[in-house]
Amino acid sequence: MVINKSDCRYDLKIINTAHITNAFPTSLAPVKGVFIKEQIDSLYEEGVGVKVHVISKENDGILAYLKAWWFMLLNARRYDLVHCHHVLVGLLGVFSVPRSKLVVSFMNDGRHNLKGRLAPLGWPVFWFLTCYCKWKVYKSRLPRRFAGHGAVLLPNGVNETLFTIQDRQAAKRQLGLDPSKRYVLFVSANTVRAEKRFDLFSEAVAYVQRHDAMVEPLIMTQAARDEVPFYFNAASAHLLASDFEGSPNSVREALACGTPVVARNVGGVRHILDGAENCRVVEEATGAALGEALRQVLDSVAQGEELRARLRQHLIDKGFTQRQVAQQLVALYQKALSRHGSH
């Protein structure tokens, strides 16, 4: 599947990019890869011409990757840069795109890039691409030795227009929730993904309920995109109990809505929450440890509209809005173009 957008101007220059991804929303899976789509859309708004080639594994299996490789091989010279999202896609780019034009986004820190039978290859493929590629985008952690050498730490940006602070009671009414209850939000595509640790989330909420019967879990799975902000605004806290993450989008979306976060120290969580008021990063992977941190956050006298505004401002100060991230990515593109003389 190929999606076209017309070329636009940015700083009086035309930058033409091709984006190759194995995750992108469809009518059957509207949530899958939505953050990649939104990032690409934000680039278009900044004046970058884009063409998107989606690797549709559901329809073509491994053949979809061969089609993507062929697409890049035939079309790489037509574009100033080819941006591959995910290590498998980046590996295809190594064999089809000139090194000076290849940009790779890493979704994780290496150990969890691949799943199933390919999982043992995740780390070596990650490091091969890290060493080979000149232009790299990391979501959770920037390898120290590559900092400043065509590598940037750039988590997905939050759509600051969609994710705003709303009245909590109004958001509860929108979702049909009890206005007297305080809700703790769990976010995932489903509750059975082992790494998301719904069991640990449930243990933590049960711990809090022993102290406060008015606390309830709020589960968000496969919600329509325009409904997602209601969940973050209805919740009094967002709890991330995952065993591993890249740079969890839900944490940044919670901050954009002024919702405190309790999270395990996984992926880029500490980087996101460093300095955020009334949020907690928990080292211990137990329901009691997460529950105690959650209880402290829920009981804090700092809860209120002023705190919510400060949490949103923290997100902005960190540079995590969609437009801020798009501008930083465009800056990387321009650096790459200046190095290989496309403009």
What's residue 90's pLDDT?
A: 96
What's residue 108's pLDDT?
A: 75
C-alpha count within 13 angstroms, C-beta hemisphere, residue 156 = 23
What's residue 12's pLDDT?
A: 36
Find the helix packing angle between 198-209 and 287-299, rounded to 10°: 50
Query: Are the beta carbons of 69 and 92 closer than 8 angstroms?
Result: yes
Q: Which residue has the tokens 């995109």?
A: 225
The most distant pair of C-alpha atoms in the chain lies apart, rounded to whole Å, by 64
Query: Are the beta carbons of 135 and 98 closer than 8 angstroms?
Result: no
What does each C-alpha distance from 162 to 13, 158, 225, 321, 322 come to in angstroms?
Answer: 29, 8, 9, 11, 10
What's residue 288's pLDDT?
A: 97
Q: The pTM is what?
A: 0.89
Strand bridging mode 81-85 / 280-282: unpaired
- Alpha carbons 102 and 107: distance in angstroms, whole number: 16
What's residue 340's pLDDT?
A: 65
What's residue 141's pLDDT?
A: 81
Burial annotation 244-254 (CB, 10 A radius, 16+ → b, else e): ebbbbbbbbbb
What's residue 118's pLDDT?
A: 74
Span 246-277, pLDDT tens digits: 889 999 999 999 999 999 999 889 999 999 99
Domains and CATH numbers, the chain: 2-157+321-340 (3.40.50.2000), 168-317 (3.40.50.2000)
Residues 6+ apart with CB under 8 A from 63: none
Which helix (H) or strand (E) segment holds residue 50: the answer is strand 48-54
Strand bridging mode 48-54 / 2-4: antiparallel
Which residues on neighbouring strands pair with residue 261, listed in sequence order? 238
Average pLDDT, consecutive stretches of 10 residues, N- to C-terminus, the chain (343 residues): 52 77 85 90 92 84 91 95 95 96 86 72 88 91 71 92 96 97 94 91 97 95 92 97 91 97 94 95 96 94 80 96 95 88 53
